[in-house]
Structures are given as C-alpha cells and as structure tokens.
Amino acid sequence: MKKFLTILIGIYIFCINIHAQQQMQTGGQKMPDEWIDKDTHHKVIKLTRREGNNSSFYFHNNPFILQKKDEGDRMIFYGTDAAGGRQAYTVNLKTLVVEQITNVNGKVGSEIIAHKFNNLYYQIKDSVFSVNINTKQTKLIFTFPDDYKGSIATVNADETFLAGAKASDEQKEILKKYPEKGQFFDRIFDAHLPNDLFTINIKTGELKKIHTENTWIGHVQFSPTQPELLMFCHEGPWHKLDRIWTININTKEVKLMHKRTMDMEIAGHEWFAPDGKTIWFDLQQPRSVNFFIAGTNIKTGEEKKYRLKRDEWSIHFNITDDMKHFCGDGGNDTQVAKAKDGMWIYYFTPQGDSMQSERLVNMKFHQYRLEPNVHFSPDGKWVIFRANFEGKEDVYAVEIKRS
C-alpha cells in the first residue's frame, strides 16, 4: 500500500510538472504558476503568488537584496492588502516564498532600497520612514514641515542622504485640477513654476534645498557608485527640452548629459549603468523616426548608441549587471513609435552599432496603460516585469534561455 501511494504521488507530481511546463498562449485567461510562451518558447513564472494587485518597482529603481550564500536573492514588491492599503513584500527568487515587510495604515509610497544596510525607505503623506528588510525594525526618519511638502525619490550609495523634488503649490493645483496626463502635461511645462531639488541627511534629519529652477523637475536618481552625484530631468514634452542633467550635491555643479542636435529629437527615460560610469536613455533622432538605446559617459561626455527597429522600441529599457545585454518592455501602437508589432518583452545584444533582439514574451493581452518596467534578475538569467494579462496586476519572470 505504501509503495502504491508513493507511485500515485509521483504520478501526481509528474502531471503537475507537465502542466506547468505546457506551451500556452500568454494571457487572455487565468494562467498557471509556470508555462512556456507558445510564441517565443521561453518559460514564464509568476513571482507574486498572493491575492490582490502586486506591482514591481519602476525600471530604474533597484528592487533586489542579494543573497549572502545560496539562500536566494530577494526582490521587493508592493501589494494591496485586505483593507485596501499597499504594503511592501519580498519574494525569494529561488524559493518563491513571499514575506510581508510593512504593516501600516494606508499606502506605502516610494521605491527606495539602500543596499548597504538593506533598508527600505518609504513615505506616507508628510512622513519618511525606514524599515530594515531583515529585522523589520521601523524608524521615523523625517517629517516635512507644513510649509515645505516634498517627495523623496532616491538614496545615495553610502546611505547618508535621501533626495527628492518639490513642486510649487501652483503646480500641485494644476495637477489636482487636471488629473489626466493629457491635461496636465503641457500645462505644467508651459507654466514654468519653481521646482526644488533637496536632500535629507539620514543621520541628522537636516533638510537642505540644493537647486531651484523655474521648470518641472523629476526622475531624480542618485548614482549607484558616487554618493555625491545626483541625476534629474527637466520634465515636459521631450522635443522641447534638453532633459538629462546631473548635480554634485556638495559643489552644486550642474551638467547637461545630452544636448539635442536636431529638430524634434527626444531623449529620456534615463538610468545609471550599474558601475555608475554611464547614463543610458531612449534616444530618437528625430522623434518617432530613428530609434536608439544611447549612453553618455559621465566623465568624458562621449556617447554611444545602438540602433533599434521600430517594433523593438520599448517604453523602458534596462541593462544586465555585467553591462553586456539590454532588455525592453515593448509598447502598443498608441505609443510614440507607433509600432505595429511591438507588444513583446525583448532581450537585446549589442552587435556593432545595432541591437540584435529576441522576443521573450508575447504581451498582446497586456493593457499598456500599465507599464511593464523590465528588470534583469541579479544572476542575469531572467527578465522580470509586471503585467495585467490575467485581468489583475502581477509580477512575472521570463527565462532568457529558451526552454
């Protein structure tokens, strides 16, 4: 009898594995936890196996806590709770065990991981907190005064400063009155209202304004390697502005990272390379005609660019830790590239001055109002993205090696 039960259990497990590995159309239906995309033959797994909506970090925010031995790397993500709030969780990329990190009333905001001490920094209304990923110990770091309401966006490489941007009250009123992007985007740009960059000393709690311009400021990112170097952008219609800038928070020196060279040229969705030496970005010369992934050497100003086909253009790109490969999250025909067949998760390999692409996931059932925001896993073997092709938002990983 015992032997018979063992055989039955073995058959059951075998059938489960066969089902999990079956080739399926991705999306438009309830998916199993694992499957093979029938159009690309790459394995896809669901990372966020919990109820509610679950979202990964924005593409340039590093969500990973690296393993010390072989216990598995962890990824931070956000998920809705039963009360309608939003909490932070980790998922172990090896075991897929999910663990809740915060337990607060309301919605945890900001996507800031300090990798030196494994702290998550987040903001709820006017208060900034940290929680240690390992111990779950929570601290109040800072409370914005009544006359200065800013938003944190990033932490520097040695975990001494947070930084963020503050808009004027008039700009906030425009956003409140015109909540849709198509309504507020040009209005805020044309208003040329004062915006600040600021830092918060994590140890002392000192708030310091470091830069002010009469323009819309956003996309604030500290260098992953240089604690004093902060990147920011001028927001607004990309073809009307030079977007990508850096500032040294000590000397206050401001530098333009890419100067437009033709009418209707656009550059944006910028991010730091893992070694901090290059700023990469989406480049179009001109807009919606010629497409590139481009990078500027921060020290020398030298630029390199890799050409993409129209359908390969993606809302966001990212790069592996060894900086040899890129990925992209595609886009539908309403995006700037007007791609006819661009709804894919892509894997790119530079070859000469172009990118060789491979399609990893068919995203035809994904609604691109939710941006997939691709990340490479720390081991470089998977591309992680968020999607709603099952009818709710979850986080998935696709294996780069073809199954």
Of the pLDDT bands very low, low, confident and very high (cuts 50, 70, 90), residue 106 is confident
The dihedral sign for the CA sequence 28, 30, 33, 35: negative
Asked if 117 and 159 count as a contact pair (C-beta separation under 8 A), the reply is yes
Mean pLDDT of the chain: 94
Residue 9's pLDDT is 47
Please say if the pLDDT value at position 15 is more than 90.
no
- pLDDT for 293 equals 98
Please give the average per-residue pLDDT across 42-69, as a whole number. 97
Q: How far is CA 174 from CA 120, 171, 177, 306, in A?
A: 31, 5, 5, 38
70: which DSSP letter? Answer: S
For the beta carbon of residue 42, count every other beta carbon within 10 angstroms: 23
List the beta bridge partners of residue 152. 164
**pLDDT the model gives residue 195:** 97
Return d(Cα 385, Cα 107) in angstroms, integer.
22
Least-confidence region, from 65-69, 178-182, 326-330 = 178-182
Question: Domain residue spans in the chain?
Answer: 36-62+274-403
> Which pLDDT score, from 0 to 100, does residue 8 have?
47
Helix (H) or strand (E) holding 173: helix 169-177
- Residue 83 pLDDT > 50, yes or no? yes
Average pLDDT for 265-270:
98
CATH level 3 topology of 36-62+274-403:
Methylamine Dehydrogenase; Chain H (2.130.10)
Q: Which residues contact 217 (CB under 8 A, 6 or more apart)?
A: 165, 167, 195, 196, 197, 232, 233, 234, 235
What's the confidence (pLDDT) of residue 288? 98
- Round to whole Å and give the CA distance between 325 and 354: 12
CA atoms within 13 A on the CB side of 99: 14
Q: Convert the pLDDT of each residue in 19-35 to its tens digit.
A: 446 899 999 999 999 99
Which structure tokens are listed for 380?
């470089």
* Confidence band of 314 (pLDDT split at 50, 70, 90): very high
Spatial CA neighbour of 218 closest among 200, 240, 233: 233
Percent share of the chain, pLDDT over 90: 92
At 251, is the pLDDT very low, low, confident or very high (cuts 50, 70, 90)? very high
Q: Quickly state the pLDDT bin for 7 (edges 50, 70, 90).
A: very low
Instruction: Give pLDDT, residue 403.
Output: 79
Model pLDDT, residue 109: 87
Q: Give the sign of the dihedral formed by CA 222, CA 224, CA 227, CA 228.
A: negative
Provide DSSP, 134-203.
Answer: TT--EEEEEE--TT---EEEEE-TTSSEEEEEEE-HHHHHHHHH--SHHHHHHHHHHH---EEEEEEETT
* Mean pLDDT in residue range 88-101: 98
Average pLDDT over residues 151-179: 96
Report whether 280 contacts 319 (CB < 8 A): yes
Whether the predicted pLDDT of 310 surpasses 90: yes
pLDDT, average across residues 1-12: 48
> How many Å apart are CA 156 and CA 225, to the nearest integer?
8
Name the residue among 19, 39, 17 with its Cα closest to residue 28.
39
- Residue 268 near residue 238 (C-beta atoms within 8 A): yes
Give pLDDT tens digits for 329-345.
999 999 999 999 999 99
Pull the structure tokens for residue 205.
Answer: 């709690």
- Say what the pLDDT of residue 14 is: 45
**Are 312 and 346 in contact, with CB atoms under 8 Å apart?**
yes
Structure tokens belonging to residue 124:
């709820």
User: Is the pLDDT reported for residue 11 higher than 50?
Assistant: no
At 255, the pLDDT band (50, 70, 90 cuts) reads very high
Amino acid 31: pLDDT: 97
pLDDT at 3: 53
Query: What digits encode the pLDDT tens for the residues 344-384?
Result: 999 999 999 999 999 999 999 999 999 999 999 999 999 99
Two structure tokens written together for 61: 């925010």
Instruction: Please name the helix (run of DSSP H) or strand (run of DSSP E) that holds residue 217, with its range, or none.
Output: strand 217-222
Check if the beta carbon of residue 244 is closer than 8 Å to that of residue 268: yes
Element (H, E) at 169: helix 169-177
Q: Is the pLDDT of residue 5 over 90?
A: no
Percentage, residues of the chain above pLDDT 70: 95
End-to-end CA distance of the chain: 37
